[in-house]
Structures are given as C-alpha cells and as structure tokens.
Amino acid sequence: MAGSSAASFSWRLSAPCSSASCSSGRTMGGVGVEAPLNLLNIKPNYSFEFDFEVNFDKDQNRLWMNRNWHTSVYWVGLYMLVVFGGQAYMAQRPAFKLTRPLQAWNVLLSVFSVVGACRTIPELIHVLREFGFFHSVCNNSYIEYDRVSGFWTWMFVLSKVPELGDTVFIILRKKELIFLHWYHHITVLMFSWYFYQQHIAPARWYVVMNYVVHSLMYSYFALRSFRVRMPRWIGVCITSLQIGQMLMGAYVTGLGFFTNKRGAASCAISERTALLAMFMYLSYFILFALFFYGAYLKPKRKVAAKAD
C-alpha cells in the first residue's frame, strides 16, 4: 500500500524527537508551532505500571509490523471467505443459539476495552493539560516516550484480528450482516496495522476513542446477551458516539495533514497516511449516519393486516 518514499517520509516524521526539538501544542495564528518540551513531564504519573507495560519494546514491535503488516491482507482474505462462504453454508441450515459463547465473548471484549481505555485516557488528558491540543494531534510522544500508552496501542492494533469473531457469531446465528459491519472490520484491521509502522501522532486519538466507544458498545451487547432489557435511548447514544468518533477522527487527521501542507510546523503523519485515514473516517461517518437514520429516524412502514 505504501511506497518506499512514503514509508521513509513517515518514518522520519515519526522518529523520536530529541530534548531540544520536541514540540508542544502551542498555537500562533491558528497553526501549531514548536516549543521545547520537558521530557521529565512527557507522560502522566501512573499510580502503578505492570511489568508487561514497563518491559514493552516499541521498536521491536514496530520492526515486526514493518516486516509483517501485509499479514493483515491475508486475514482480510480469510475473513471475506468466512463472510460470504459462511452465509452460503448457513442458508439452508438452522441458526445456532450460541448463548453462552456469545455472553463470554462480549464480556471478554468489554473488559478488554475498559482496561484499554483506563490505561490510555490518562496520557491523552495529561498531554492536553500540559502541552495542548496541537501536541495531542501532532506529537507521537504517546508511543515514543510512554510505555503504558505504547503497550495498549499495540494491544489495540493486535485486537483487530480477534474482533473479526463478531461476524462469526452473526453468521452462525443467522442475524442480518450489513455492509457497514464487515467493511468497518476489514478497513480498521488493515489501516491499524499500516499506521502502526509509522507511529503516527493522530493515532493517540484513534486508540482512545475506539477503546472508550467499544467499552460502552460491548458492555451493551453483553447485557443484551444476558437478556437484560436495554432502553432504546442507550442504543441511540452509542451510535451517536460512534458518529462523533468518526468526525473527530477525520478532524484530527485533517489538522495533521494541513499543518504539514502549510509548513508552519511538522506533524507526525505522512500525506498518504493522512489521506487514507480521512477517507476511512469520512466513509465511516456516512455509513454510520445512514445506519442511524434507518434504525432510529426513518418512519416504519405499516403493514396492512390480511383479511380473514
């Protein structure tokens, strides 16, 4: 997907900044400008850090992804076989209930998402408070200098493979499989693996937003799988948050793109990656908005009762 020149450009933008060249999020005339950072204060003061977080090696994982990101294409190919082949296989067969496996699946993903959100939100809040919004969008300190946030960014990227299992439950239970569902899964997987090679700065927002929304979404699915009746407005709120997530993703990516274009400051994202991300987020916005309209706003057709 990426040419060698684009890859080298992205790598250069995303390289760790030195103590003299790190920048904060101050603005001048509406454009972020660079100012020295205090590296001692670059990450939040976590109350505790797990050994697997402290020992996280971002460079080793980045190297692995540079060598293996194309594996995501194989996962997508296998996934599409399951999507279309699975539906054909189940067409003349009764649906599976899978109640207990579905409950376990949703609980597992909700717990994972909650933990991921709890471990990445502090870093975002910290840089917004200490260095400003521009830093949060254009400086990749979340992965270059923070092993906690870096580890959970890596977990976010890897989790896009097992999350494909959502679709297996839909197919085996013979529920409606809409285009938005499988399009979202394949594009998030491929783009997440692609952007991780570059340690792009706006991914700080992508990761936190995804963890937060998935915390709510999978918790909602888990409760429903346990037959807990959920008010309609909760589904409305979650879908609204997803739409907001897509708009914010497009905005922070666009800010990085135009910052580099204007040349007033540098933002750790290449032009090609920014264009891909903006296309992805805007396509999600359109699809989620259409889903929202169809699910919650479109008038339902009244079916005339048959005469006896």
Active site residues per annotation: 184
CA angle 53, 76, 181 (to 5 degrees): 90
Q: Counting every residue, how long is the chain?
A: 308
Give the C-alpha separation, 80 to 280, whole Å. Answer: 19
Q: Which letter does DSSP use for residue 50 in this model?
A: -
Give the C-alpha separation, 11 to 200, whole Å. Answer: 9
For the chain, how far is it from start to end, CA to CA, in angstroms? 62
Give the C-alpha separation, 136 to 127, whole Å. Answer: 6
State the residue for tokens 């109640």.
Answer: 99
Give the C-alpha separation, 1 to 210, whole Å. Answer: 24
Give the C-alpha separation, 112 to 134, whole Å. Answer: 29
Give the C-alpha separation, 278 to 134, whole Å. Answer: 18
The DSSP bridge partners found for residue 26 are 33
Give the C-alpha separation, 84 to 234, whole Å. Answer: 31
- Using the CB atoms, write b or e for 255-289: b if 16+ within 10 Å: bbbebbeeebbbbbbbebbbebbbebbbbbbebbe
**Of 194, 193, 240, nearest in space to 216 by CA:** 240
